[in-house]
Structure 1
Amino acid sequence: MTLAAATNENLAHISNVLVYSAMAVYTLAFLAHIAEWVFGSRSAVGRTAAALTAPAAAAVTVTTAKSAQSGGTAVLERPKVVTRSAPGSRDVPDGPGAAGGSEKGDLYGRIAVSLTVLAFALHVGGVLSRALSVQRAPWGNMYEFSTTFAMAAVGVYLGLLVAKKNVRWLGLPLTTSILLDLGLAVSVLYTDSDQLVPALHSYWLWIHVSCAILSGAALWVGATSSLFYLFRDAHEAHAAEGRPAGAWDNVLSRLPSAATLDKFAYRINATVFPLWTFTIIAGAIWAEAAWGRYWGWDPKEVWSFITWVAYACYLHARATAGWKGRKAAYLALLAFACYLFNYYGVNILLSGKHSYAGV
């Protein structure tokens, strides 16, 4: 039996400094993203509204005339009223993104992305130094899980940018979420760097928990896309009905179209669903090795399964006619809420075999 490695207090302190430094730079990125949207909002939203209302206005009332075969007189048919199209199905082009076509807004957007990259580098350093301080995986408690989850979410965002995906509109909600997550981690969930209880000394800690973190980071992207889809879809509906532009319309008009957001959310959730499935399977295998049973209806196990069922229902409903659009988006948000409760609610409010790590 080997003795647990002693905690390196210097590395633990460096980790704390790097995490706080990352938070400071994330704050600057957050402000730069706000400036990006503010300056970008000066773009002419009227052109977008006109593009939306013109085809809709032409299709609201359709009157056709037929010539009677016998007398040749024109017969007017009853006007056909075209009802509102299915959510997200309008043929609407994507908005120009967070910059909104403004040169100054685009400049602030590039600054925001650069600051996010710098904050991400500091963030990675903080997580790695935390791991090196105790020579183990840096997700043995809620503080470490939260900091690593935030790092993974930023990594997914930057990875999509590198892949040339139009996701810069995610920058503002991303930095907002990261600051909230890290703020909660350092103020409420903070735990001193220390060794783990014996039950967690397993290579499954690296596999099971890392998959849960990556899954959650990607699911956050999908949930944010579904949330923005709801706002963008309402904006397109108002524009199609010819309503005057509101205070937020100049921002919403620069998002990708509702159809694009709906498709993007579906692809993200569908891609990560097998990984979440493997996360649950890996947890069951680890449970058998640690506790002698694959499944014991522990609160964490139950809510992991509930989350899996919620996303399975979403994917099934999303592929079924009549459950696309807003209904599917609501279901996706409900599924992600289950994921959040599985993490925060189960760990803080409920007790079970997964409670040994504390917060």
Structure 2
Amino acid sequence: MNLEILLANTSFVLLFLIMIFYWLQAVFCIIPKFQSVIFITTWCANLSLLSLLLTRWITYKHFPLSNLYESLIFLSWSFTLIELVFLYKNNKTGSNLIGTIISPIALFTNCFATFSLPKAMQKAQVLVPALQSNWLMMHVTVMMLSYTALLCGSLLAISFLIVTWKKQNSTIANTLDNLSYRILGIGFPLLTIGILSGAVWANEAWGSYWSWDPKETWAFITWLIFAIYLHIRITKGWKGRKPAILASCGFFIIWICYLGVNIVGSGLHSYGWVKL
């Protein structure tokens, strides 16, 4: 069996098991040492996804973030990385909440990349001149890490809104609110660095720092949404449902920026993506 296929199938099985384990832990609070099983499985999934990306890097001789398939695999890997960070910190409540909420989307992105995308889109192509740059590694990696953190924080905000639908204050609600704020606080600087590095790369490739390409426009909208969120949390001291609603809106804005623009539109960022 082809190594890529083996690694892709292995990562799918492991991600599915991780989701089941987290849900069992959340519903039944089973086996005190069950956390170790989750940690080992998550570590194996992370290693499997990383090996898949490295295999493609070695096979195709360029950084494996040049098309939709590779970016989705990287996104799935990044979600498992966040889960591992909280598991390693031994933050049981935080890791269980994050794992229960994030593991389904990690599985979904992996499934979409492996089983839904046409085989032609899963194959790496020769890079166009604009992508043959060291900026590819810097810009795209930072942007994908920012999407991961922002999606994670936004999902926690959505979960907070669900938990507080009738009951305003609870330990779980406060934990969700704090975790969402902390993770979004990491994602926003990464998004800022990603946009700035993209502007420098754009000037090098196309002779202009900013051209209001659809991707650039929606990246700016995404940045603005989370800039407002952090502003009202830090300077206004707002907590609870109002900032969570804004962060929840950001969840859908990110998906428009990441996938929607490339599926229904066209522009300078359409290389290796869907074009209709």
Regarding TM over 0.5, the answer is yes
Corresponding residue for residue 308 of structure 1: 223
Structure 2 letter corresponding to 1:199: A
User: Distance between the aligned counterparts of 1:291 and 1:153, measured in 2?
Assistant: 33
When structure 1 is superposed on structure 2, of 149-158 and 113-122 the one drifting more is 113-122
Q: Per-residue deviation at 1:267?
A: 1.9
Tell me the distance in 2 between the aligned counterparts of 1:29 and 1:125: 18
Q: Is residue 22–residue 96 contact of structure 2 (8 Å, CA) maintained in 1?
A: no
Contact 1:34–1:172 under 8 Å retained in 2: yes
1:188 deviation in Å?
3.0
Shift of 1:234: 3.3
Given candidates 45, 50, 66, the residue that maps to 1:140 is 66
TM-score in terms of structure 1 length? 0.70
Q: Residues of 1 paired with 2:221 and 2:12: CA distance?
A: 33
Summarize the alignment of residues 37-76 of structure 1 with structure 2, pairs less than 5 Å apart. 37-40=26-29
Matched, 1:176 2:99: no
Which of these two proteins has the greater Rg computed from alpha carbons?
1
Q: Is the 8 A contact 2:142 2:191 kept in 1?
A: yes
Q: Given that residues 219 and 336 in structure 1 are in contact (C-alpha distance below 8 angstroms), is that contact kept between their aligned partners in structure 2?
A: yes
Which residue of the other structure, out of 202, 206, 216, is the alignment partner of 2:137?
Answer: 206
Q: Does 1:28 align with 2:11?
A: no
Residue 233 of structure 1, CA deviation: 2.4
Say if 2:67 and 2:271, in contact at 8 Å, map to a contact too.
no
2:14 corresponds to which letter in structure 1? V
Instruction: Output aligned runs, 1:264-343, within 5 Å.
Output: 264-321=179-236, 323-343=238-258
> Are 1:222 and 1:265, in contact at CA under 8 Å, matched by a contact in 2?
yes
Checking the alignment, whether the CA contact within 8 Å between 1:225 and 1:265 is kept in structure 2 is yes
Task: Specify whether residues 195 and 16 from structure 1 end up closer, same or farther in structure 2 by C-alpha distance, changes over 3 A only.
Answer: farther
Q: 1:234 to 1:110 in 2, by over 3 A?
A: farther
> Is residue 153–residue 220 contact of structure 1 (8 Å, CA) maintained in 2?
no
Deviation string, structure 1 residues 104-161 (Cα, Å, up to 9, x no partner) = 3544444233222212111111111111111211110011001011101211221122
**Equivalent pair of 2:75/2:148 in contact (CA under 8 Å):** yes
Show CA shifts across 1:294-325 (max 9, x none).
Answer: 11110000000000011111111223547421
Aligned partner letter, 2:165: A
Q: Which range moved further: 334-343 or 282-291?
A: 334-343
Question: Which structure 1 segments of 5+ residues have no match?
Answer: 1-9, 41-103, 241-252
- Partner amino acid, structure 2, of 1:30: M
Change (3 A) 1:27 1:38: same
Aligned residues: 269
CA separation in 1, counterparts of 2:32 and 2:50?
A: 27
Given that 1:36 and 1:107 are in contact with CA atoms closer than 8 Å, whether structure 2 keeps it comes out as no
Q: Which has the higher contact order (CA 8 A, sep 6+)?
A: 1
Paired residues of 2:101 and 2:156 also in contact (CA < 8 A)? no
Can you give the 5+ residue segments of structure 2 that lack an aligned partner in the other structure? none
What RMSD over aligned residues (CA atoms) do the two structures have, in Å? Answer: 2.0
Q: Which has the higher helix share?
A: 2
TM-score for the superposition, normalised by structure 2 = 0.90
